Every structure is written in structure tokens, then in C-alpha cells.
Amino acid sequence: MLRKNRLFTPGPTPLLPSAVRAMASADVHHRTADFRALYQRVLADLKVFVGTKNDVLLLSCSGSGAMEASVANFTSPGDRVLVLTAGKFGERWRDLAQAYHCQVEMVEAPYGATISIEDVKAKLTPHVRVVYMQATESSTGARHDVKAVAQLLQGTDTLLVVDAITGLGTTHFDVDGWGIDVVIGGSQKAVMIPPGLAYLSVSERAWKRTTSATHPRYYFDLQKERKAAARGESAFTPATSLIAGLGAAMDFIRENGKGDLALGRELLIENAELAAKMTRAAASALGLELYAAKAPASALTAITAPSGISSDDIVKRFRDQFGAVVANGQAEMKGKIFRIAHLGYYDYMDTIGAIAALEQIIAELRPGHIEFGCALRAAQEAFARSRAEKKQAQAK
């Protein structure tokens, strides 16, 4: 059959059509009143989307750039920092902090596991200047308990910086209530536009820290960005078309929330949650193991390839037979797991399509092992159950 090119990767995610149209029309100079109006509107919308009263800044770079900014602006050489890691993105925090000559303490969990809060508690001392963690570890599909870590830090002088690049729009956060100092997001994730923008919220505590942090910084100087944002501008030439796309994405999320952006964000989270539920039910019905079974994120589902089968083969069949790009495992996990995304612009038909293709692939790879329809039945039941529960809740 024909094969439409469909991304099921946890970033980049499928593009929102209205954002694509906005990007295509963004023939604009960035030092004009027109662009300033757009920029200010997008920054204001991002505050609501992140769910904070803190400043939110936009950077023209990938999420890793905002991660670097969160090291360069909040630490000084020799500072002790605590990095929580259970996957490739946790390791990025470690690499960044080491590149900036911090003293890096680590709390590690095996790939696929979630960070133990007890372990964090054991490593926390008043000398720790910053805790760096992920909300969801996209390399393994695991979710970490941001709220519990935030609670450990209450009343201390330790900053909490959360890479929520796949966590924003897939996880319920109370940024200000829990006291998360910095939350980082990326454009190619739940906000449904291409890579090239990162955004982050910065608490007053974190702003104060920037005044004592001595690391060299220029493009990623957050104070400079803050001052520019106060004028409705960016410090450097911004990725204007992506910002126009982000504006359209915020409009879409708001419209989906019937005019309420915060409600729209919650519905977007629920969307990912339901797609994840359907996919997990289907994987279990196929006898497949979830890689992060204990604390699975809603942003994506990582599934262990059946014994004797490489996930390379599964990923290739998704691509060659169905036009679907699913993610392989990264580094050591390559060949062992594959990952199907739920964050952003996925609907029921996308989700059921990926599950149906997986069923075909497993049937071909393991002849006689499964009955056609078993995974789809499980997904259909999960969808119908969720719909019934929602109706019941609305009736109350």
C-alpha cells in the first residue's frame, strides 16, 4: 500500500498544520513592531503553557542549549551539583556540568527505572547548589518524580532545574506550588513545531543566583535575554518563523481548551496519557514488555524487543512497510528497545494506526504467536473505557 511519512518519534513530533502555515507566512523582520507584538504574545502564552508566574524566556537553539544555559547561568566553577540520571538525557546533565567544571555528584538508576527519592535524599547536602533532573527520560520512557524531589529541596538554598523537554505538555506540573526554579521545554515536542527553539522559566531565586554565577556566557546569557524580553525582543536574531509557528501552536492549544490555554494544556496532557494507555494495553496484549514498566511517562512508550529479535528490525519494518518512523533505543539500548511517541499532535487514528502496524510486524516476526486483533482489541477497550469514565465524570 501507499506509505505516508509519519513521525512517531519523541521529538520531532508531527507538525501542526496551522503552525506550518504560520511558519510559511512569517516573512517578517525581527526588529519591528509587528514582530515585537508576536514575540510578547508568545512569551505571555508560554507562561500559561508552562503554568508559572516566573519569567519565561525563548532561546533560538535546541533544548540542549537551554540545558547549557541552566548550567552556565546558575553555577560557578567548582560548584557542587547533583545530577539525577537514568538515561541518555540524565547523562547529558552530567556531561554539561562536567564541561563547566562543576563538582558533579550523581544519583543513578538503571536505564528504564525511575530515580529513587531515597537515593536523592541520601546525596543531598547544603553544599549542593543545583539539582539537575529530567521530568521524563525520553531515552527510556521513564517518568521521574519531580514533585518529590522539589519537596526535598523546600527551605534549602538548592535550585531545582528540570529538563521537561518531553515532560511539558505530557505531565501535570505545579511549577510555582512545588517550587521548581527552572523548567525547560523544546519546540519539537508537545508544542508541535520543528526543532530550533527552547524555552525555560526562571524563578526569582534562580535570577538571584545568576548575579553570583561566574561562568562565561554570551549567547546563553539569561539576564541579557530577560532585559531584551522586557522590551518585547530577543537578545539575538531569533528564529522568527518558528516563533510564528509557536504562536499558532499556542492558539491551537487554547482553542482546544475552548479559549482557555491552561485547560488546553491539560487536555493535551490527557491526550498523551490516553494514547500511552492504548499503546501499553496493546503491547501487553502482544506479550511485549514495557521498558519502563514501573514509572512509564506519557510522552512515549518504550517497548523491549522480544527475545531473539532486534529492535532495529522492528524499526525498519515500521519504516519500510508502513512509512512510520518510530525511535530505536539510543546507544547501549539500540537494538533492544523501540519507542513510540504520544506527545503533541497525535490523535486516535494515529495511535490505533501505530498499534495496528505493530501487530502486523509482530505477527510476521513471530508467526503463530499472536492472534490478529488482540492488541487492537486491548487498545479499543482502553479508549472506550476512558471515554466512558470521562462521560461519567462530566455527568457528576
Q: How many residues bind its own copies (CB under 8 A)?
A: 41
77-85, 182-190, 269-277, 303-311 -> range binding its own copies (CB under 8 A): 269-277
The answer to whether 190 contacts its own copies (rule: CB under 8 A) is no
The answer to whether 300 contacts its own copies (rule: CB under 8 A) is no
DSSP H helical ranges for 257-326: 261-285, 311-322
Q: Which of 27, 29, 237, 349 binds its own copies (CB under 8 A)?
A: 349
The answer to whether 363 contacts its own copies (rule: CB under 8 A) is yes
The answer to whether 319 contacts its own copies (rule: CB under 8 A) is no
Q: Which amino acid is at 47?
A: K
Residue closer to its own copies by CB (options 165, 358) is: 358
Q: Which of 195, 232, 335, 353 binds its own copies (CB under 8 A)?
A: 353
The answer to whether 374 contacts its own copies (rule: CB under 8 A) is yes
The answer to whether 356 contacts its own copies (rule: CB under 8 A) is yes
The answer to whether 263 contacts its own copies (rule: CB under 8 A) is no
**SS3 category, 184:** strand
125-133, 181-189, 327-335, 381-389 -> range binding its own copies (CB under 8 A): 381-389
Q: Considering only CA atoms, which of 234, 199, 255, 321 is closest in space to residue 18? A: 255
Q: Which of 175, 206, 274, 337 binds its own copies (CB under 8 A)?
A: 274
Please state, as a whole number, how many other Cβ atoms lie within 10 Å of the Cβ of residue 237: 9
Q: Are 165 and 186 in contact (CB under 8 A)?
A: yes
Residue closer to its own copies by CB (options 268, 327) is: 268
The answer to whether 325 contacts its own copies (rule: CB under 8 A) is no
- For residue 390, the surrounding DSSP H or E stretch is helix 374-395
Cell readout for 17 is 498544520
The answer to whether 275 contacts its own copies (rule: CB under 8 A) is yes
Residue closer to its own copies by CB (options 302, 376) is: 376
The answer to whether 254 contacts its own copies (rule: CB under 8 A) is no
d(CA 109, CA 271): 28
Q: Considering only CA atoms, which of 293, 267, 295, 277 is closest in space to residue 355? A: 277
125-161 burial, b at 16+ Cβ within 10 Å, e below that, comes to eeebbbbbbbbbbbbbbbbbbbeebbeebeeeebbbb
The answer to whether 283 contacts its own copies (rule: CB under 8 A) is no
d(CA 35, CA 195): 20
Instruction: Find the shortest distance in angstroms from Cβ 163 to its own copies.
Output: 25
The answer to whether 251 contacts its own copies (rule: CB under 8 A) is no
Q: Are 116 and 133 in contact (CB under 8 A)?
A: no
Q: Which of 193, 324, 326, 340 binds its own copies (CB under 8 A)?
A: 324
Secondary structure E strands in 175-284 = 182-186, 198-202
The answer to whether 322 contacts its own copies (rule: CB under 8 A) is yes
Q: Which amino acid is at 2?
A: L
| Contacts to its own copies by CB under 8 A | 1-4, 6, 24, 256, 268, 271, 274-275, 322-324, 345-354, 356-357, 359-360, 363-364, 371-374, 376-378, 380-381, 383-384
